[in-house]
Chains A and B, each alone.
Chain A
Amino acid sequence: MKVAPAISVDQVMTEERAAAFAKRSLKAGTKLAGLKLAIAMMDLTTLEGKDTPGKVAYLCHKARHPLEPRYAAPACAAVCVYPAMVAHARRALGTDSPVKVASVATGFPSGQTYRRIKLEETRRAAGEGADEIDMVINRGAFLAGDRAQVFDEIAAIKEACGSAHLKVILETGELVTYDNVRIASQIAMEAGGDFIKTSTGKVNPAATMAVTLVMLEAIRDYFYATGIRIGMKPAGGIRNSKQALAYLVMVHETLGEDWLTPERFRFGASTLLNDVLMQLVKFVDGNYQSSDYFSLP
Chain B
Amino acid sequence: MPASSPSKKPVTPRRSLRAVKSDPVPPGERRLRFGEQWQYAPAPEAHDHLVIAPRHELFINGRSVPPTSGRYFASINPATEEKLTEIAHGDATDVDLAVQAARRAYEGEWGRLSGRERGKYLYRIARIIQEKARELAILETMDGGKPIKESRDVDLPLAAAHFFYHAGWADKLQYAFPGRTPQPLGVAGQIIPWNFPLLMAAWKLAPALACGNTVVLKPAETTSLTALRLAQIFQEAGLPPGVVNLVTGPGDTGAALVRHPGVDKIAFTGSTAVGKGIARALAGTGKRLTLELGGKAANIIFEDAPLDQAIEGIIAGIYFNQGHVCCAGSRLLVQESIYSTVLRKLRDRLQTLRVGNPLDKNTDVGAINSRPQLDKIRGLVQSGLDEGAELVQSSCPLPAKGFWYPPSFLTGVTASHRVAQEEIFGPVLSVMTFRTPEEAVERANNTPFGLSAGVWTDKGSKSFKLVNQLRAGVVWANTYNKFDPASPFGGYKESGFGREGGIQGLAAYVRLT
Query: Measuring CB to CB, which residues of chain A are less than 8 angstroms from any residue of chain B?
Result: 1, 7-10, 12-14, 16-17, 23-31, 33-34, 37, 114-115, 141, 144-146, 148-149, 151-152, 155-156, 158-159, 163, 165, 191-192, 194, 217, 220, 223-224, 226-229, 248, 252-253, 255-258, 260
Contacts and interface: CB of A to CB of B under 8 A. Distances in A.
Contacts of A258: 32-33
A248 B37 CA distance: 13
A27 B24 contact: no
A238 B1 CA distance: 36
A257 B1 contact: no
Contact of B13 (A13, A23, A191): A191
A25 B361 contact: yes
A14 B307 CA distance: 11
- The secondary-structure label for the interface of chain A is helix
B313 interface: yes
Contacts of A194: 20-21
A260 B11 CA distance: 33
B40 A24 contact: yes
Interface residues on B, range: 35 or more
A39 B164 CA distance: 46
18 contacts: A7-B308, A8-B305, A8-B306, A9-B306, A10-B309, A27-B42, A144-B2, A148-B10, A151-B10, A152-B7, A152-B9, A159-B11, A159-B14, A191-B13, A192-B18, A228-B25, A229-B21, A257-B33
Contact of A8 (B17, B25, B40, B458): B458
A12 B352 contact: no
A256 B2 contact: no
B195 interface: no
Given A27-B43, A220-B32, A155 B306 contact: no
Nearest to B20: A163
From B304, B306, B344, name the one whose CB has the most chain A CB atoms within 10 angstroms. B306
Contact of A34 (B9, B34, B38): B38
Contact of B149 (A8, A23, A192, A227): A23
B479 A223 contact: no
Interface in B403-444: none
Contact of A25 (B6, B13, B14, B362): B362
B26 interface: yes
A252 B84 CA distance: 37
Nearest to A194: B21
B478 A10 contact: yes
A158 B21 CA distance: 12
Contacts of B42: 27
B35 interface: yes
A158 B13 contact: yes
Residue with the greatest number of chain B CB neighbours at <10 A, chosen from A12, A25, A27, A255: A25
B283 interface: no
3 closest Cβ pairs, A-B complex = A227-B24, A13-B309, A227-B25
Given A7-B308, A13-B312, A17-B309, A229 B22 contact: yes
A170 to B, nearest CB: 18
Given A13-B479, A17-B312, A192-B18, 5 more contacts: A27-B41, A155-B13, A194-B20, A227-B30, A229-B21
A13 B311 CA distance: 10
Contact of A217 (B1, B14, B149, B308): B308
Given A24-B40, A227-B26, A145 B1 contact: yes
A224 B30 contact: yes
Give the interface centre of B9, B13, B39 by most chain A CB atoms within 10 Å. B13
Given A13-B478, A17-B312, A7 B38 contact: no
A257 B43 contact: no
B44 to A, nearest CB: 9
Contact of B478 (A12, A144, A152, A223): A12
A30 B34 CA distance: 15
Contact of B10 (A1, A23, A26, A255): A1
Contact of B344 (A163, A165, A224): A224
Contact of B313 (A13, A149, A224): A13
Contacts of B352: 253
Interface in B303-338: 304-309, 312-313
Contacts of A13: 306, 309, 312-313, 478-479
Nearest to A34: B38
B33 to A, nearest CB: 5
Contacts of A28: 41
Nearest to A156: B11
Contacts of B40: 24-27, 30
B513 interface: no
